[in-house]
Chains A and B, each alone.
Chain A
Amino acid sequence: MSKAVPIIGMGAICAAGNTIASAKKGVYAGHDNLTPLSLFDSGLKIPPLSGQVLALEENAVGPNRTAQLAYAAVREALSGLHKRKGLTLGFVVATTVGGITRSELFYKAYKTDPLKLSRAATECAGHEPAALSGFLCENFDGTGFYTLSTACSTGLHAVGLAKRLIQAKAFDLCCAVGSDALSILTIRGFSSLMLLDPTGCKPFDKNRKGTSLGEGAGAVCLASDDACKLLDVKPLAYVSGWGASADCHHMTAPHPAGLGAITAVTAALDEAAIAPADIGMIATHGTATPDNDVAEIRAMQKVFGTVPPFCSMKRSLGHTLAASGIIEAVFAVSAMKDNCVPHTAGFTDLDETIGIAPQSKQKAGIRHVLKNSFGFGGNNAAAVFSLSNEQGL
């Protein structure tokens, strides 16, 4: 069996659009899709620029916003798989906030009026991350799931685990789904850590001062070789490698030399059985916090020597936390298929400390892309996506 696992469906909903088709050109061109936070009152004096899904359909399906976003992405990812009845479908679900968009508002109301307690059953029903997985299984005839929460790296870990679940023959099809809605908790939390740039993030830029949050969901459906034949589908691309590590350095700051990131990326390249030079593009984590961007590039220089063309999608999408790894992987795979490296919105001035700049590219001839995601707790994830399942091209 080939070590690379076929991707047979993808879906995304984010600030750039409600489907991959409607969003991808804007992402490639580096459109700035951040808008002043208007979904709710975060309590901050100046509503921070955020990646909001402003056109979420009115009758969206799901008990809370995180679930509604996930539903839209999964529906898109599974839409072409008409003959999947009878095949087992697993989910690896990535979320940090789960249903907190509702439970935090309930809690606010309850604090001022304890009589509101009677609403707890409905308002907190979806609070647990696992509730999101149950909801997706219910609506898409799933047979089993794992729910993962490792902060900002969750989505990419979900892709890695889904790959290995297919290899372990646990499911015929396995959908990695990442979803996070904007919430008071995360907006105020990032603000309290001074990690938000209220004027919008500027990845890798000399004047970067923090990230911008966003919301959305991404889904990648993987399949066994047998399932591909039964479904009569041609793989869109392949997940060929995954790497995971912990920094053991600090709870929120990355290791300055990116030691954990180096381990994760190296492991992903090893599993993909390719050399660093085979990577044609890096879709970075690129959050635009002063520390992350420099640590990430230090790590990439260590692994690659000469760093391949790289981009950050954070100004186009906002940082969608647990969803970011999958949404950005979806656009990275699309870009590889469309033969381009996306433009990095928000970047204008080279930072001498970093020494290199993100660059867009047309007719890029990319065979393999690397996606990075790093999270709180010093948690690192990296994955390699490939155009074909022939290794070492």
Chain B
Amino acid sequence: MKPFTVLGHSALFPQSDPVWNIEIPPHLKRRDPRIWQMAYVAVARLLKNAAAKPKSILVGTALGALDETKGFLDGIFSDGFGSPKNFIASVHNSMAGKLALEFGISGPNLTFCDGQNSFASAIANCELLDSDDFPALVVAVDENIPLLDTILPVMPAQCRAYLSEHTKEGAIALLLANSQTLPAIRSIGPRFAGSNKDKACTRETVTALLKTQKSPDRFFDLSYCKSFLSGAAVCAAELQKNSPGSSIVTSYSPPSNAFSAIELLL
């Protein structure tokens, strides 16, 4: 996969940004789900100073608007009435649709749901776009809801690590150009780790290979950890630091037994 120039980047993590909601415009306050608002604010921060307007949107989200899905089912399973607005938002691409509507981005609009690899999938698929679909807006967004914490203790050990107490929520947005100057980002994978049928393709062997073949200046092995967003969050932090050199950020999604990696060239 080829690298794309990072024209701009922004991030929003509500936990460490308690006053973020003052950035939500009034017309999105009354009815819009929190996950839409998070995506909106991250993108608004990015595009505020952007020189060019995005032509396409690629969103990575593992679970989408989970709170809306739950809210709709709560209605159905309690008094028998589900809220239509909950259902509309419950589709995984509702954030991408809303961003297109708010920012007037009429090109390809794709949403990838590859667990922790979702951000990497969104970046990888930029390569499949036409040149006039650039700049491309790539967004990673997921939310945490209390139900996830309730379910966690009974999930298998692997999933517990994956949805640990460090579960973060938020949104990360990148504006990518179809060119190769610094800073640049590219996706490696995702690859299916398989049930050891292909020994060359286990998580461990590929991680080792990435370390030796690419010999990055900084290596973040997120194979087992943290939130859906951790890969995207580390990328955002690295871009923020902007110290010269290359970084590799790996991720692993237990339900699909697949891993991916993102390479940053700063």
Contacts and interface: CB of A to CB of B under 8 A. Distances in A.
Contacts of A353: none
21 contacts: A96-B91, A98-B113, A107-B73, A121-B156, A121-B159, A124-B155, A128-B256, A129-B114, A130-B62, A130-B113, A133-B256, A134-B255, A138-B194, A146-B112, A147-B113, A185-B90, A192-B83, A246-B97, A263-B106, A376-B93, A376-B97
A263 B133 CA distance: 13
B127 A168 contact: yes
Contacts of A165: 128
Interface string A171-208: 00000000000001100110011000000000000000
A78 interface: no
B93 to A, nearest CB: 4
B265 interface: no
A377 interface: yes
Interface string A262-299: 01000000000000000000000000000000000000
B230 interface: no
B107 A146 contact: no
A252 B89 CA distance: 10
B201 interface: yes
Contacts of A130: 62, 113-115, 117-118, 253, 255-256, 258
Contact of B92 (A111, A125, A129, A157): A129
Contacts of A157: 110
B76 A376 contact: no
B215 interface: no
Given A108-B73, A120-B155, A147-B121, A245 B107 contact: yes
A377 B256 contact: no
A248 B105 CA distance: 7
Contacts, number: 211
Contact of A150 (B87, B109, B115, B201): B109
Top 8 closest pairs, chain A to chain B, by CB: A377-B97, A134-B256, A189-B87, A149-B92, A244-B108, A246-B100, A131-B255, A130-B256
A151 interface: yes
Contacts of A375: 91, 93
Contact of B109 (A131, A138, A251, A379): A379
Contact of B87 (A137, A193, A244, A260): A193
Q: What is the interface of chain A mostly: helix, strand, loop, or mixed?
A: mixed
B63 A376 contact: no
Taking each of B90, B100, B192, B258, which has the highest tally of chain A beta carbons within 10 Å of its own beta carbon?
B192
Contact of A128 (B57, B113, B201): B113
A121 B74 CA distance: 20
Contacts of B63: 127-128
A144 B192 contact: yes
B94 interface: yes
Given A165-B128, A263-B106, A377 B91 contact: yes
Interface string B70-94: 1011101110111110011011111
B96 A377 contact: yes
Given A121-B154, A146-B125, A246-B105, A128 B255 contact: yes
B190 to A, nearest CB: 6
A119 B255 CA distance: 16
A318 interface: no
B100 A151 contact: no
A189 B194 CA distance: 36
A251 B88 contact: yes
B245 interface: no
A104 B73 CA distance: 8
A107 B91 contact: no
Given A144-B189, A150-B109, A192-B87, A43 B96 contact: no
